[in-house]
Structure 1
Amino acid sequence: MPDTLPVHVNRASLHSLEVADRFETDDSFEILLVNHGEPTHVHLHLDDALSELASIEAPNHHVERESERRVRVTVHSHGSTFGKLKIATSYGAETRYVDVDIDEPIETEEPVQVDESLSKPQPRSDGRDDTTGVNAVPWPLLALGLVAVALALAVAAWVGGTAAWLGAFVVLAAVAVATALAVGE
């Protein structure tokens, strides 16, 4: 779950803002706008230094009465930077600045847990017959091939001529090659 920066709006008085002076993170985070009073407009802005590594999904937000709204700040690239997040209510009537420190993520090498079941050989199910080691005959493919050959021979006999018989021979050869390839895999 990403880090969260809570911002309390309208808690002490109308348009008041309560937020930490400083926020540190090493990844994307959320700004949680918590409105304790009347509906309020909140503006969020990252300064130039923060904008180089991060962005806010939208700068202007209307927060309904007695509600919460989450705003995502996405860190796009790794690196470290320090900058200010500007938070303003009611079109600038009240403004606060938060020092935001984005640190380079700490990469930890965690050991990989291997389950003991992975060390045992798994049964093969690659379509081969367990007794002979040869692939099982693909019966639907063989039946389709026989239908194609029978149809080609019937058309050659009905039409007659060298071209028809040559076409039937080509169909027969193609079916034979396809069957051999299917059985041989």
Structure 2
Amino acid sequence: MSASGLKLRDYQAECIDIIDSLDGGAHLVQMATGLGKTVTFANIHRHGRMLILSHRDELVAQPVKYFDCPVGIEKASRHSNGEPVVSGSVQTLSRGTRLQRNFKPGDFDLIVTDEAHHALAPTYQKIVDYLQPRLHIGFTATPNRGDGRGLDHVFEDIVFQRDLLWGIRRGYLCDIDCMQVEVDWSTKGVSAWRETSS
């Protein structure tokens, strides 16, 4: 049973066991959308404080309901207050001196990066490098970035993988129904509009 009262699926429990066995370092977990990344990372056994890094407002708020302990929020005008778990906006924590004013290196034993395919951005690196957690776990559905840059610059390895096909074949996700749409117009010759700074 999870902290929020949900029954963990076997693969979620397996992922948590693997993470629990890690001594430290930076590692990646791949789980397809719909397989429960948030439930999984909310149930990692904590050995100190946890920081969750997210890049969108809804992702900052989403994990709160899955924890059985107080969760602080670091986003815009909202500030945490020493809670065991903090969910923070990357944009907020990387801007100005907020990170240094509110936290010190070693404050967090574990950093979880949600949507970890964004973790190559300097904003993420600034936060993780400053806080120096014992363990950094990235969760993503898509470890292969569109720009071809590898996440091996941030994470040492992928410790757990369950992709879309795995989820569909085992009945956790619905099958994909694809449709092709043909149109009788062309964008050939249409130029892209670009805003210029004055």
TM-score scaled by length of structure 1: 0.28
Structure number having the greater strand percentage: 1
Structure number with bigger Rg: 1
Task: Provide TM-score, normalisation by structure 2.
Answer: 0.26
